[in-house]
């Protein structure tokens, strides 16, 4: 440490990966909001982050706060939880996620996380060995890139094709993958594209990944939020073809993004995640990271089991209505175009014409 004028000069250098100013959506948005003209009194329409709680029509079911109150007042959930999550909650997630699977998940296939954000952090960190690379969708969710760069895992990008309802360009996946590719990520229903993959397309993704010998990470944080003609099909349905890591959380479907409860599920009836050492490696990571609060874990069983069908359908109707309005209004704005009317998640992808030639795009929250 250098000594200057009698003071020690702090030699802080920092992690160079964290010095890049545009590392995340949150970072860019915070900067944008901080630089607003304070004298401009016009209201700001929040389009930057998919947080529906800003709007009163998106409110969770009373089942959810009741479940948290019951869990808290039971005094049974005040302990440190097991690092993989408490058994009852793992069982509830296994049943919830594999309802439409051709096989049954076990509670041991489930690992509870502090939201889907921590699920991303965990799987990317566990997969990041030296010289490895991972395939991400473009357009995608920037949290993946940020996590990969912090873990020094090389990110490669395959394209989603707007003219084909944002399907994966499987030829570009095959062209990008090599012997150091560890996994590919899909987001279904999609953020930022707002589409829902068909059963047939998911099957083709599974077959391609299997041929390449890479895991599939399926971000299903918007699972079941499908309001168009394609029903939501969980990728785990193809777990016999290729090992699938299903990521999810209660943030979006239950509209409680602040509650920080999510999961990683190994959808893999052939047990490849165990045999390959992935599970052991992930458990070691879970031992050094934080756990979601135990009272939230205690509430999860009631939330997953007792939420009523009319809550789910009311939310879908509200999102569909918002998507229709957004899509129609975009048609009226000369410099914007939306290549695919959203049929899932809570976002729509539109292009801003002046940048169309360079392929730059922006996403808009419905
Ligand atoms: C919102 C979102 C997440 C993060 O989910 P949390 O449970 O709030 O951490 C992850 N992936 C995608 C694609 C998202 O839109």
Longest distance between any two alpha carbons in the chain, whole Å: 72
Cα within 13 Å of Cα(6), Cβ side: 0
- Specify if 54 maps to a domain: no
> Which of ligand 1's atoms lies nearest the C-alpha of 260?
7
363 or 214, greater pLDDT: 214
Distance 141 CA to ligand 1 centre (A): 9
Residue 210 has pLDDT above 50, yes or no: yes
CB-based contacts of 158, cutoff 8 Å, min separation 6 = 135, 136, 137, 138, 168, 169, 172, 173, 176, 184
Distance 294 CA to ligand 1 centre (A): 20
Task: Kindly report, residue by residue over 231-288, the tens digit of the pLDDT.
Answer: 999 999 999 999 999 999 999 999 999 999 999 999 999 999 999 999 999 999 999 9
Task: Kindly report, residue by residue over 57-83, the tens digit of the pLDDT.
Answer: 899 999 999 999 999 999 999 999 999
Distance 249 CA to ligand 1 centre (A): 8
Q: What is the CA radius of gyration of the chain?
A: 21
Distance 3 CA to ligand 1 centre (A): 46
SS3 assignment for 161-190 = EHHHCCEECHHHHHHHCCCCEEEEEEECCC
Residue 356 has pLDDT above 80, yes or no: no
Distance 95 CA to ligand 1 centre (A): 21
Q: What is the DSSP letter of 357?
A: G
Distance 6 CA to ligand 1 centre (A): 49
- Specify if 57 maps to a domain: no
Please, are residues 283 and 276 in contact by the beta-carbon 8 Å criterion? no
Taking the C-alpha atoms of residue 322 and residue 361, their distance in angstroms, rounded to an integer, is 21
Write the CATH number for 96.
3.40.640.10
Residue 47, pLDDT score: 65
- Specify if 205 maps to a domain: yes
**In 3-state terms, what secondary structure has residue 22?**
coil
Mutation test residue for ligand 1: of 249, 258, 264, 344, the one with most atoms within 8 Å of CB: 249
Taking the C-alpha atoms of residue 125 and residue 286, their distance in angstroms, rounded to an integer, is 11
> Which of ligand 1's atoms lies nearest the C-alpha of 346?
15
Residues with CB under 6 A from ligand 1: 50, 115-117, 141, 187, 191, 219, 221, 249, 251, 257, 262
- Specify if 221 maps to a domain: yes
Mutation test residue for ligand 1: of 166, 191, 194, 344, the one with most atoms within 8 Å of CB: 191
- Specify if 94 maps to a domain: yes
Mutation test residue for ligand 1: of 117, 139, 290, 344, the one with most atoms within 8 Å of CB: 117
Taking the C-alpha atoms of residue 343 and residue 345, their distance in angstroms, rounded to an integer, is 7
Distance 118 CA to ligand 1 centre (A): 9
Taking the C-alpha atoms of residue 94 and residue 90, their distance in angstroms, rounded to an integer, is 6
Task: Kindly report, residue by residue over 108-145, the tens digit of the pLDDT.
Answer: 999 999 999 999 999 999 999 999 999 999 999 999 99
Residue 350, pLDDT score: 86
- Specify if 177 maps to a domain: yes
Of the candidate ranges 117-121, 222-226, 326-330, 362-366, the one whose mean pLDDT is the lowest? 362-366
Distance 193 CA to ligand 1 centre (A): 14
Domain that holds residue 109: 63-306
- Specify if 4 maps to a domain: no
Distance 247 CA to ligand 1 centre (A): 9
Domain count, the chain: 1
Q: Share the mean pLDDT of the chain.
A: 92
Question: What residue's CA is closest to ligand 1, atom 5?
Answer: 116
Residue 263, pLDDT score: 98
Residue 184 banded pLDDT, cuts 50, 70, 90: very high
Mutation test residue for ligand 1: of 49, 53, 139, 141, the one with most atoms within 8 Å of CB: 141
- Specify if 346 maps to a domain: no
Strand ranges (DSSP E) for 257-346? 262-267, 336-337
SS3 content of the chain, % helix, strand, coil (to 5): 40, 15, 40
Kindly tell me the burial class for residue 2, based on how many C-beta atoms sit within 10 Å of its own C-beta (0-12, 13-18, 19 or more).
Answer: exposed
> Which of ligand 1's atoms lies nearest the C-alpha of 141?
13
Residue 357 has pLDDT above 60, yes or no: no
Per-residue pLDDT, averaged over 203-207, amounts to 98
């Amino acid at each position: 440490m250098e000594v200057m004028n009698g003071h020690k000069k702090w030699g802080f250098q920092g992690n160079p990966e964290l010095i890049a100013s545009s590392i995340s959506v949150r970072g860019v948005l915070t900067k944008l909001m901080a630089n607003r003209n304070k004298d401009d009194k016009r209201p700001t329409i929040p389009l930057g982050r998919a947080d529906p709680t800003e709007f009163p029509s998106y409110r969770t079911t009373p089942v959810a706060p009741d479940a948290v109150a019951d869990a808290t007042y039971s005094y049974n959930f005040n302990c440190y939880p097991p690092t993989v999550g408490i058994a009852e909650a793992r069982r509830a997630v296994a049943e919830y996620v594999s309802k439409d699977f051709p096989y049954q998940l076990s509670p041991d296939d489930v690992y509870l996380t502090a939201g889907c954000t921590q699920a991303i952090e965990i799987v990317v960190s566990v997969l990041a060995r030296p010289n490895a690379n991972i395939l991400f969708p473009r357009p995608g969710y920037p949290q993946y890139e940020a996590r990969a760069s912090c873990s020094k895992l090389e990110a490669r990008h395959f394209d989603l094709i707007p003219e084909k309802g944002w399907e994966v360009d499987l030829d570009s996946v095959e062209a990008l993958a090599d012997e150091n590719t560890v996994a590919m990520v899909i987001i279904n229903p999609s953020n930022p594209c707002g589409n829902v993959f068909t059963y047939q397309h998911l099957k083709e993704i599974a077959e391609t990944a299997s041929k390449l010998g890479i895991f599939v990470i399926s971000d299903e944080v918007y699972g079941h939020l499908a309001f168009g003609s394609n029903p939501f099909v969980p990728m785990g349905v193809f777990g016999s073809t290729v090992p699938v890591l299903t990521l999810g959380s209660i943030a979006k479907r239950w509209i409680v993004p602040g509650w920080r409860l999510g999961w990683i599920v190994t959808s893999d009836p052939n047990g490849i995640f165990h045999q390959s050492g992935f599970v052991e490696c992930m458990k070691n990571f879970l031992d050094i990271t934080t756990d979601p609060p135990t009272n939230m874990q205690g509430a999860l069983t009631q939330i997953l089991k007792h939420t009523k069908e009319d809550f789910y359908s009311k939310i879908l109707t509200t999102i569909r209505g918002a998507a229709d309005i957004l899509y129609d209004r975009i048609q009226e704005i000369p410099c914007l175009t939306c290549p695919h009317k959203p049929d899932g998640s809570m976002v729509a992808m539109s292009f801003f014409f002046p940048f169309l030639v360079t392929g730059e795009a922006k996403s808009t929250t419905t």
